[in-house]
Structure 1
Amino acid sequence: MSSTETEKVKPWGYLTIATTAQASTSFVSLGVASLIPFLMHPLQMTAADAGLAGGAVNTGMMALALPAGYLTDRYGEKPVMVAGCVLTGLTVMTAAWMRAFPALYTVLLFTGFWAGSVTPAGSKLVMNWFGSQKLGFAQSVRQTGVTLGGLLAALVLPVLALGTNWHTAFLVSGFPGVLAGGLVALAYRAPRGARTDSLRRPPAAGWRVVLQTLSDRDVWLTCSVGTVFVGGQFVLLSYLQLFLHSRLLWPAQTTGHFLALTILAGTIGRIFWGTFSDRTLGGRRQPALVVAGLLTAVSSLAMLLVGAATPLPAVAALTFVLGFAGLGWNGVYITLLSELGATRGKAATAVGVGVSLMQLGVLALPPLFGLLIDETHNYKDSWLLLTVFIACGVLMACAVRERRRKGPAIPGAS
């Protein structure tokens, strides 16, 4: 292979590495949701506790995602990604020894503290190697790591919990992060010139850029959309199995398969929405967010119709659409934030802001969804609440003004 051909292939190899790193942390964050049915009785959890547990790792991401974005812009994506993957894996392993819900929740929060660094670092990697014509697709491919990691977790961890116990499942869930960190350390090489401007800028100037990013109207609007949408995402991940078990009386193994189907649909959706925004929308991201949000709201409302008489194929189709839209928008969201931040040379900082703030939705909406279930002993009001929240997110998405760049962050990249 010639040197020119090697240079053309290199970005795609690095994209694979970034996707693997993202999958390793999502194996943990989404894997917790797949273990909730096995935690309810031993830890004496309520439905509201289930919402807290399902989003605990993502709640912890609030603490480090913004600093990680700043550190990535200043020192490069590689050290941040390596540390994030390895520390995520090692921390979640300690959950295997927890015996009470407060202790488990605390460990999961600290796990998220490290996991929050992988998204801004991975986003910067993609920005460095891909131009705007391929950026939406490339970011969406990297974001499939989230759903692929969750899909593997939904297939593997419940089987481990059934065959052994949930303690073993948590212990095993940490290994992918450690291995992915090693892969990034050994195989990834940042492009020349990627950090030059950041290292020339004194730290005080860097923090001024952070404050400027925080004051940007369109960044705030986009972050608000992400906050609402990701809250709905974790409602789906945390409560779909419990809803199907309670409403349709399906066993845990069957509900686990439907969770896996939903996550698989999200993986397909992330590729679709990224390609849709690149090719059909000519690089526009905001309309894709709006359409995905509308589909999510309609599907959430349709969950009110699900009952014991609902045919299994109809339930499968509805959960597929929920996953396709409700779990599929993230790549477009990250791309939009990257492009908004790139106008100031701070793509990773903007993504860090977005990842930090959107976890407020994970912290608030799933527990509120569960609290309504505890109070009303049904899911009707909870699904209505989710529909209203997603509709509000769609309205905010309509107000976002896009700013796009033309080429890759590093000259000579794809």
Structure 2
Amino acid sequence: MTSTAAPQRAGGRTVTPARRWAMLAVSTGGQAATAAMVVAPSFLIPELHRPVAEGGHGMSLPAAGLVASAAMVGLMCTLVLWGMLVDRRGERFALISGLAITAAGGAAGTLTDRPVLLAAAFLVAGAGAAATNSASGRVVVGWFPPERRGVAMGIRQTGQPLGVGLAAATVAALAHRYGVGPALWVPTGATVVAGVLVALVVLDPPRPPHHEAQAAANPYRADTFLARVHGASMLLVVPQFAVWTFGLTWLVEDLGWSPGRAGLIVALTQVAGAAARIAAGWVSDLLGSRMRPMRAVAVLAAATMGLLGLTAATHLAPLAVLFLVVASAVTVADNGLAFTAVAERAGPFWSGRALGLQNTGQHLVAAVVPPLAGLTITLWGYGATFALAGLLPLLAITLVPVAGERSVS
């Protein structure tokens, strides 16, 4: 077992505990930067939907949601490919390459405000962003021992809500005042900085000899554990992206908040989400289980989304905003648990692909949430949409494979 207190060797170099924590910090930063890039289009929806007479683009809400989903589509289509590359070439190479592609797509998006070209730029940025999902997770699993992985992965998983928070606090307000292009420079610049830091700090973790890879068994043939984790995660991502994509728009359109004020609230919800991920990871280390806390998160997600939908539909604004904050935290708490469980069960020669499949399933669902939720909002309103999203965690409760989990050791 690897101890976080003892130095290790990698590539002929001694890796101290401080270096491991630095790699965790940089990997988290890379995840945050790409998350900001992938969700930034969602925070452009108010500007894309704003009437042309008011300086906006005049797009319908479903059409704006479709453009916003392009980054998710790009990410979804390349997750397994990046996972295979991580298994073959290592984490550092994949991280640097992916961040460079993400930055290039973001930079291209700053040069146009035409919907088709903007969607194409988002597609490229999302394709590059997929690299950090598998590679940064593998850095954590490779450098931290099992009894510390829950917390370490929880910290790494804060990259996503922190990236969303960065985009929420800046993109909507900048787009409203200066336009789409200037707003996109925030996630683009963050991605460039993250790429430089990865090149300076991250090392590939040690792995068993290459010949052992040929004998590594396909973990999907052993049992249904991984498939059930993937399925439960896909269901749980629906409420997560419903509140992420349309929480800000709901505050602006239904409650009459300014984009800047709404963006700050959404940013604060992401801080709460980051804390929830770390807490969930700590609990999983304490219990020696990833799946029991994941099942508890599914129960809480169903309850909080139902309450958010009810209060939003009945125009109880203060309570609805409170439940938006709570739901934004609860609905992201399961991600680190599932990610860690998948990497641990798949092993060092399959975890890249397994993590790619895990994220592919999640982002396949996430890619269709914006246009479908935009349609249901148009037909039935925000409250009904939030409540409907809360039904999916009820199904996830039955899928979480608590009985099939192995002891964390």
1:27 to 25, 32, 36: 36
CA-to-partner distance for each residue in 1:337-361, whole Å, 9 max, x for gaps? Answer: 111212x742222111101121111
Match of 1:245 among 239, 252, 256: 252
Whole-angstrom CA distance in 2 between matches of 1:214 and 1:371: 39
Task: Identify which of 383, 388, 398 aligns with 1:385.
Answer: 388
Report Cα offsets for 1:208-240 as digits up to 9, x if no partner: 84xx54885221111112212223211111111
Q: CA deviation at 1:8?
A: 2.6
Q: Does 1:269 align with 2:261?
A: no
1:293: which partner in 2? 298
Aligned to 1:38: 47
Which segments of 5 or more consecutive residues in structure 1 lack a partner in the other structure?
A: 407-414
Cα separation, 2, equivalents of 1:274 and 1:328: 9
Which position in structure 1 is the counterpart of 2:332?
327
Amino acid paired to 2:376:
L
More RCO (CA 8 Å, sep 6+)? 1
Contact 1:227 1:357 in 2 (8 A): yes
Structure 1 residue 170: deviation in Å? 1.4
1:99–1:54: structure 2 CA closer, same or farther, 3 Å change rule? closer
Amino acid at match of 2:45: I
Taking structure 1 as reference, are residues 405 and 292 closer, same or farther at Cα in structure 2, changes over 3 Å only?
closer
Q: Please, what TM-score do these two structures have when normalized by structure 2?
A: 0.88
**Secondary structure at 1:182's aligned position in 2?**
helix
Q: Distance in 2 between matches of 1:61 and 1:375?
A: 29
1:310 paired to 2:316: yes
* Runs of 4+ in structure 1 over 4 Å off: 2-6, 199-202
In structure 1, C-alpha distance between the alignment counterparts of 2:111 and 2:227, rounded to whole Å: 39
Query: How has the CA–CA distance of structure 1 residues 390 and 98 changed in structure 2, closer, same or farther, with 3 Å as cutoff?
Result: farther
**Aligned AA for 2:268?**
L
Counting only pairs closer than 5 Å after superposition, residues 107-122 of structure 1 correspond to structure 2 as 107-122=121-136
Question: Take 1:316 and 1:381, find their aligned partners in 2: how far apart are those partners?
Answer: 15
Which of these residues, 338, 354, 359, is aligned with residue 343 of structure 2?
338
Does residue 258 in structure 1 map to residue 286 in structure 2? no
Residues 17-26 or 32-41, more deviating:
32-41
Q: CA deviation at 1:307?
A: 5.9
Check if 1:68 corresponds to 2:82.
yes
Give yes or no for contact 1:62–1:359 (8 Å, CA) kept in 2. Answer: yes
Matched to 1:89, the amino acid is A
Structure-1-length-normalised TM-score = 0.87
Structure 1 residues 249-290: Cα deviation after superposition (integer angstroms, max 9, x where no partner): 2232222222112212111111111111111xx221112111
Distance 1:295 1:3 in 2: 38
User: What is the aligned counterpart of 2:362 among 349, 358, 368?
Assistant: 358
The aligned amino acid for 1:69 is: G
- Say whether the 8 Å CA contact 2:24–2:156 is kept in structure 1: yes
Per-residue deviation, residues 144-186 of structure 1 (Å, max 9, x unmatched): 1111111122122234324422211113421211221121112
* Aligned 8 A contact 2:292 2:402 in 1: no
Q: Percent identity?
A: 25
Which of the residues 392, 395, 400 maps onto 2:398?
395
Matched residue, 1:103:
117
Paired AA for residue 306 in structure 1: A
Q: 1:171 to 1:215 in 2, by over 3 A?
A: farther
SS at match of 2:316: coil
One-letter amino acid matched to 1:222: V
Q: Is the 8 A contact 2:289 2:408 kept in 1?
A: no
| C-alpha distance in structure 2 between counterparts of 1:29 and 1:38, whole Å | 17
SS in 2 for 1:97: coil
- Give the total of aligned pairs: 393
Query: Equivalents in 1 of 2:94, 2:376: separation in Å?
Result: 39
